[in-house]
Structure 1
Amino acid sequence: MESRNFRLDTEWNVIHYPEKPNGFGILVVGDERHFVNNSTSFWTQNEGKRSVLNTWKGEGYTVFYSNLYGKHWGSEKAVDLAMRLCSHIMRNEILNNSFHVVAEGMGTLVALKLLENSGIRIRSLALINPIFSLSGHLEQEKENKFFYKKLVAELETAYETEIKQLLARIDSEGNSPPFNHETPVKIIHVLSGNRAYKQSNNLKSLSLQWEKEKLPVSISYVLPEKKLQLGSQITHFFAKHERVL
């Protein structure tokens, strides 16, 4: 069996099985275009993502992810479902109970909340063009009225509240992610488009803070034409943190 699609709550999830398992799992938390339904997913339909997925499977990783209510933007119910998915996988699959996490874009908002949860054991964390805070992302999107209006509508749907109430909740959050000294983090920033270059400037200032705090965070900058190398970059990073079971 190459993969299995199943439902938790109302949402479809999928687990991809490697031919020769290495005993480690990868939770993927996708970005805006990510989806899962009863028979397929963005990671099997998109050529680039499928190549990365096949690289991971070829190295023996069991890969799993959820639809997470679509454009969740790190909502509490998305985080809760991600935790339930992890528990389900650990109960039903023969895997090391400390797994890797790959998060892209807004998926980072879920991954960071999992990182803060003591009930989830994250072995290492790989972030692709991460969004570290909702307030920072909203501020950046204000420059384009169309995208800002679209984002506000998505946030109200995801958090099931009006934007004014949500802003009051997130205004106090910082732009610095809750990294720690125990979980190694690799940030991969693909330099495509004006937004990515603006985010890279923010990343550079944060990296100085992480370096000062001696946190295990490394950053790689990748050109768009090198995106197919992401799979091998990430597996190389993961392998370095599998020596202790």
Structure 2
Amino acid sequence: MEQRTFQLFNEWCIVHYPEKPSGFGVLIIGDTQHFVDEKSSFWLQHYGRNQMLEELLDAGYTVFTSNLYGKHWGSDKAAELVILLYKYMIKTEILNHRIHIITEGMGSLLLPKLLHELSDKIRSICIVSPCVSLRHYAEQEKHQRLFFKRWLQEVSIAHQQSVESTMGSISTILENNWSVGDNPLFIAHIVERGKYEGQIAHVKTIFEKRTSNGLTTEFHYIMPEKRILLMRKMIYFMRKFEKVL
């Protein structure tokens, strides 16, 4: 697997090159366990994600991602870095200017901010077990006091504000009016007791609203034992939107 790492604003980024490039790029925005360092990344070290990465490369996609300051929880700082990464990739690589995006969990919180800047640069979006509302996530976790306290600290650091300010703003600036505009959207919900299980009602509402408005949207329930089929489904979805360059 050919790849290279580089830094943008002191954050490590990585790009993986397919043997037979199609000219299309895929940006990955991971969940809380996601990382990129000088020599490796979560998608290289995790067996399941590594398999998914291989499928993307076999399909001809150039795949890129960034460390994004670790647990960013949808921060403006992380969104700005993703936009910079997109511009850097288009400038330095031979890629079609309209890319696909794949997000997991917390990574989905960045999408509304990215679409504000890059809407016409996004070919399709695939979200996996997404977190789409910090406020509802906070309400879900409040009963776990130690975890909740640690989580609040993570969010306050990510959003560069005090814990006290974070507590006061959970229902305002941290409430995410989640939308990806008119862009084609693929939603995959892994059926397991994950930390974002409480988000499913909000995701269903998004799906129903988009469907009623005639926007291209797919919703798939994926059983854990069928997870191996997930990337195949996403690639099939993405290819539908590659006919117009």
- Mean CA deviation greater in 4-13 or 213-222: 213-222
Distance, in Å, in 2 between the alignment partners of 1:31 and 1:118 is: 21
* 2:14–2:65 contact (8 Å) kept in structure 1: yes
- Mean CA deviation greater in 113-122 or 80-89: 113-122
Aligned positions of 1:1-150 closer than 5 A: 2-118=2-118, 121-150=121-150
Task: Give the equivalent residue in structure 1 for 2:216.
Answer: 216
Distance, in Å, in 1 between the alignment partners of 2:204 and 2:110 is: 22
- Mean CA deviation greater in 114-123 or 29-38: 114-123
Q: 1:65 aligns to what SS in structure 2?
A: strand
Task: Give the equivalent residue in structure 1 for 2:180.
Answer: 179
Q: Measure how far apart 1:178 and its partner are.
A: 1.8
Call closer, same or farther: CA 1:194–1:60 in 2, change over 3 Å: closer
Q: 1:116 aligns to what SS in structure 2?
A: helix
> What are the superposed Cα offsets for residues 133-165 of structure 1, whole Å, 9 maximum, x if unpaired?
221211111132232122111111111211332
Q: Which runs of 5+ in 1 are unaligned?
A: none
Partner letter of residue 79 of structure 1?
Answer: A
Distance, in Å, in 2 between the alignment partners of 1:132 and 1:138 is: 12
> What are the superposed Cα offsets for residues 209-236 of structure 1, whole Å, 9 maximum, x if unpaired?
2222222221111011111222111111
Partner letter of residue 157 of structure 2?
Answer: T
- Mean CA deviation greater in 66-75 or 220-229: 220-229
Q: Measure how far apart 1:198 and its partner are.
A: 3.0
Partner letter of residue 10 of structure 1?
Answer: N
Q: 2:7 aligns to what SS in structure 1?
A: strand
Distance, in Å, in 2 between the alignment partners of 1:106 and 1:198 is: 13
Q: Measure how far apart 1:168 and its partner are.
A: 4.4
RMSD between aligned residues: 1.8
Q: 1:117 aligns to what SS in structure 2?
A: helix
- Mean CA deviation greater in 167-176 or 43-52: 167-176
> What are the superposed Cα offsets for residues 156-188 of structure 1, whole Å, 9 maximum, x if unpaired?
11112113323544523655522322x100011
Q: 1:127 aligns to what SS in structure 2?
A: strand
* 1:26–1:102 contact (8 Å) kept in structure 2: yes
Call closer, same or farther: CA 1:217–1:176 in 2, change over 3 Å: farther
Partner letter of residue 243 of structure 2?
Answer: R
* 1:185–1:218 contact (8 Å) kept in structure 2: yes
* 2:132–2:199 contact (8 Å) kept in structure 1: no
Q: 1:63 aligns to what SS in structure 2?
A: strand
Partner letter of residue 179 of structure 2?
Answer: P
Distance, in Å, in 2 between the alignment partners of 1:46 and 1:158 is: 25
* 2:132–2:203 contact (8 Å) kept in structure 1: no
Q: Measure how far apart 1:192 and its partner are.
A: 1.1
Distance, in Å, in 2 between the alignment partners of 1:161 and 1:228 is: 40
* 2:109–2:178 contact (8 Å) kept in structure 1: no
Call closer, same or farther: CA 1:167–1:117 in 2, change over 3 Å: farther
* 1:25–1:99 contact (8 Å) kept in structure 2: yes
Call closer, same or farther: CA 1:110–1:197 in 2, change over 3 Å: closer
